[in-house]
Amino acid sequence: MVRPVLSLVIPAYNEERRLGAGLRQALDYLRKRGEPFEILVVDDGSRDQTSEVADSFAEEEVRLLRHERNRGKGAAIRTGLAASAGARVLLSDADFSTPIEELEKLEPHLERSRLVIGSRGLADSAVQKRQPFYRELMGKTFNRLVRLLGVRGLRDTQCGFKLVEGEAGRQLARELKIEGFAYDVELIWLARRHGWQVAEVGVVWINSEDSRVSPIRSSLSMLRDLVRIRWIHRGGR
């Protein structure tokens, strides 16, 4: 079996409406590149037909992994990373708010960095459809707290479009503990603790109207997880 050059990991929770179009777009693009690839869809305990949609692509380089219950986006990312086989692993949201073609902006940076994160906060970022003001405020506040945690020098840790060197990503999967939305911060924290460079690259981003992030519930969960990151990775349980 030919080892894939690229693994695309897509965490999915109740994504039956958007997943099919996103997978078709990704397949069309990746086939044009002419390199072996795989797409891993991690259904995080969906209550709709997400698994059935992913399974309908089973003969087209798409593999379904499934959690029996909803555990969180971080848990789905960890499952996908651990199961990947690619020399590089791209993490992308199911709605492809950042188009898959933006991968080409991230790839050159893997020559010097083990982890490359897409960003909405740089001068060359292109936010074509903005979030509601309260979500932008929530994001800015969260980033300030992230800097207090010790993850400095980055404008946007939460964009769901990241590229990681394959073996490094699978090593991080063994160390990740956060199962919610703050997994991004833990991923960067761990990469830097290993002494690996983390590059931030501006990308195109289009806000999705059907966001899974709750302004209140998700914010409280992310704050709790920031505290847990400090505790877990500084000698706590």
> What does the pLDDT look like over 15-31, one tens digit per residue?
999 999 999 999 999 99
- Domain-embedded: residue 105: yes
- Domain-embedded: residue 41: yes
State the pLDDT at residue 137.
58
Choose between 233 and 163: higher pLDDT.
Answer: 163
Q: How far apart are CA 225 and CA 151, in angstroms?
A: 14
Position 209 confidence tier, pLDDT thresholds 50, 70, 90? low
Closest CA to 171 of 84, 236, 51: 84
Q: How far apart are CA 31 and CA 28, in angstroms?
A: 5
And the tokens for 66?
Answer: 């499934």
Average the pLDDT over 41-67 and give the result.
Answer: 97
Position 213 confidence tier, pLDDT thresholds 50, 70, 90? low
CA angle 223, 225, 229 (to 5 degrees): 120
Q: pLDDT above 70 covers what percent of the chain?
A: 83
- Domain-embedded: residue 184: yes
- The enclosing domain of 104 has a CATH number of 3.90.550.10
User: Going by C-beta distance under 8 Å and a sequence separation of 6 or more, which residues neighbour residue 155?
Assistant: 119, 121, 122, 143, 200
Residue 45 has pLDDT above 80, yes or no: yes
Q: How far apart are CA 124 and CA 80, in angstroms?
A: 30
Residue 83 has pLDDT above 80, yes or no: yes
Average the pLDDT over 141-167 and give the result.
Answer: 81
Element (H, E) at 226: helix 217-232
State the pLDDT at residue 236.
43
- Domain-embedded: residue 1: no
Domain count for the chain: 1
Position 207 confidence tier, pLDDT thresholds 50, 70, 90? confident
Q: How far apart are CA 113 and CA 126, in angstroms?
A: 23
User: Going by C-beta distance under 8 Å and a sequence separation of 6 or more, which residues neighbour residue 86?
Assistant: 3, 4, 5, 6, 7, 37, 38, 166
- Domain-embedded: residue 83: yes
- Domain-embedded: residue 114: yes
- Domain-embedded: residue 237: no
In 108-207, which residue ranges form alpha helices assigned H by DSSP? Answer: 133-149, 166-175, 183-193
Choose between 134 and 48: higher pLDDT.
Answer: 48
State the pLDDT at residue 74.
95
CB of 97 within 8 A of CB of 91? no
Position 134 confidence tier, pLDDT thresholds 50, 70, 90? low
Position 35 confidence tier, pLDDT thresholds 50, 70, 90? very high
CA-only gyration radius of the chain, Å: 17
- Domain-embedded: residue 209: yes
Residue 71 has pLDDT above 70, yes or no: yes
State the pLDDT at residue 2.
83
Q: How far apart are CA 24 and CA 22, in angstroms?
A: 5
For residue 43, report the phi and psi dihedrals to the nearest 5 degrees: -80, 110
What's this model's pTM, rounded to 2 decimal places?
A: 0.88
Q: How far apart are CA 195 and CA 114, in angstroms?
A: 10
Which tens digits make up the pLDDT trace of 166-189? 999 999 999 999 998 889 999 999
Tell me how far the alpha carbon of residue 217 is from its chain's centroid: 20
State the pLDDT at residue 237.
42
For residue 170, what are the domain limits? Answer: 6-232
State the pLDDT at residue 96.
95
